[in-house]
Amino acid sequence: MSLFVIGDTHLSLSVNKPMDIFGGWKNYMQRLEENWRAIINKEDTVVIPGDVSWGMSLEEARADFAFLDDLPGKKILMKGNHDYWWTTKAKMDAFLEQNGFSTLTILHNNSISAEGISICGSRGWMFEQGQAHDKKIISREAGRIRASLQDAQRFGDQEKVLFLHYPPIFMEDSIPEFLEVMKEFSVKRCYYGHIHAQGCRHAFRGEWDGVQMEMVSADFLGFCPKKIG
pLDDT of 118 reads 98
Query: How crowded is the C-beta side of 98, counted as CA atoms within 13 Å?
Result: 9
pLDDT tens digits, 168-207: 988 777 889 999 999 999 999 999 999 887 777 778 889 9
pLDDT tens digits, 139-163: 999 999 999 999 999 999 999 999 9
Cα–Cα distances in angstroms (integers) from residue 188 to residues 26, 77, 79, 124, 161, in the given order: 35, 21, 22, 17, 7
Q: What share of the chain is helix, strand, coil (3-state, %, to 5)?
A: 30, 25, 45
CATH of domain 3-227: 3.60.21.10
**Alpha carbon of residue 35 to chain centroid:** 18
Q: Please calculate the CA angle 154-160-163 and round it to the nearest 5 degrees.
A: 120
Strand duo 117-122 + 112-114: pairing: antiparallel
Whether the pLDDT of residue 40 is over 80: the answer is: yes
Q: What number of other Cβ atoms are within 10 A of residue 26's Cβ?
A: 11
Enumerate the domain spans of the chain.
3-227
